[in-house]
Structures are given as structure tokens and as C-alpha cells.
Copies of this chain bind each other. A is one copy, B any other.
Amino acid sequence: MQEFTTDHISQQFNKELEALRQHFLTMGGVVENQVQDALQALLESNGELAEKVKAQDKIVNELDGLIDDECNRILAIRQPAASDLRMIVSISKAVGELERMGDEAKKVARMALSLIEEGESPRGYVEIDRIGQMVSRMVHDTLDAYARLDIEAAIKVAEKDRRVDQEYEASMRSLVTYMMEDPRSISRVMNVIWVLRSLERIADHARHTCQHLIFMVKGVNVRHVSASDLSNMITKKD
């Protein structure tokens, strides 16, 4: 985002935009950790780590409120134009996506605690591990793309979401079959299903965050462009 903040007459305005950018990336870092920690807590039956993820929700909410206020104040006082305006609109929306990723991570942590208490599910951990790694990576790459204003990286994240959806659908089918074979496991397997659902959601939010980044850098709305068309569309616009 560096290049968005260098050409202002007002030094103070520069500082405000830089602070906004820093707060956004800080919040992103907290959410990224929440996602990773929630997965680790679940896969290693670590209740303490799950509680830590839940507690971090407060920090995420505070940062969400702070960033939202900053965006509104800058809009009102600075009346920004062009790329500054797009940056603020983009961050103002992307911060809502981060906040919801954090909510889903908290749900995963809650399911980890249920699975520790009720007893581990006999199936689904391999799927959680595989999809969890893909989704963690997507969150990481999304923030990286924001930090470097990297459109190509953002497009790659959007494309990956389709892979996550496919893996999610396949896992869901196999877990439903498993529940039919072993009905005593239903309650525990359902916890795994909710975790996979949350991971699939986090991937969706990562894709939306990348769409907001593409709007910020390119000024085009790609919210209803399919991942496969995205690359062509952006290249054409160059």
C-alpha cells in the first residue's frame, strides 16, 4: 500500500493512511493466528490454545471498531479522491471480512473444545488438516497481497477458493456416508462437519477480501466475476 500514501501535500493525511494500513495488517495478523491456532488446538486436542483463540475475539472486535472509525473519520474530514478513496472503501469492507473470519475461527475453537469433551470424532481429522492448511494459506496470502498490493496473488487466492469448495463437498459426502455406517458417531462427526463448514466460510471471506483489493488497485468491481474469468478480465484491463 506504500504507493498509495506517498503523494499527499498533507503530511498528516499521509500519517493517517499509514496508520490505517498498519491497523488493518495488525488485525489481519491476529485473525491469521486465530485460524492457525484453532486448527492446531483441534488437531492436538489442546484446550488451552482453543481458549486463547476465543479470548482473542475481543482484540479483533476492538481493532474492527477502531479501523471502521478511522475510515469514517478520514472520509468525513479528508474527503479523499481517486486511489485514496478506493483504499478507504476497500479497507472499510475488507475489515468486515476479517472480523467474520475471526468469528469462524472462534467457532472452530469451540468445536475443538466440544471434541475434547465429548471424545474425538472417529473420522474427519485428515480432511480438517488438509482443508485447514489450504485455508490458512489463503488467509496468509490474502494479507500478503494486501501488504504488497499484489493483484496476481489476489487472483490466485480467488482461484484457490474453488479447490476448497471441491474438497469440502467431497469430504462432506464421505462423512455423511460414515455417519450412516456408524450412527453412534453422529454427534461427534457433526462437530467435524461444522468445522469444515467454518473453514469453507473462511475461504469465502478470503476470496471476498481479495475482491476488495482488486477494486482498490484496479477500480473494477469483480464481486460477480468467476475465478476463471478473473485473470482474463484483469489482464485485459491493463
Q: Does A187 contact B (CB under 8 A)?
A: yes
**A38-59, CB under 8 A of B: which get 1 and which 0?**
0000000000000000000000
Q: Which residue of B lies closest to A77 (CB)?
A: B81
Q: Does A126 contact B (CB under 8 A)?
A: no
A180→B176 contact, CB < 8 A: no
Residue in B64, B79, B221 whose beta carbon sits within 8 Å of that of A65 in the complex: B221
Q: Does A156 contact B (CB under 8 A)?
A: no
A180→B184 contact, CB < 8 A: yes
Q: How far in angstroms is the closest Cβ of chain B from A42? A: 19
A85→B75 contact, CB < 8 A: yes
Copies of the protein in its oligomer: 2
Residue in B65, B92, B176 whose beta carbon sits within 8 Å of that of A224 in the complex: B65
Residue in B65, B79, B81, B183 whose beta carbon sits within 8 Å of that of A183 in the complex: B183
Q: Does A223 contact B (CB under 8 A)?
A: yes
Q: How far in angstroms is the closest Cβ of chain B from A64? A: 7
A residues sitting closer than 8 Å to B (CB atoms) are 61, 64-65, 68-69, 71-72, 75-76, 79, 81-82, 85-86, 89, 92-93, 96, 99, 176, 179-180, 183-184, 186-187, 190, 197, 221, 223-224
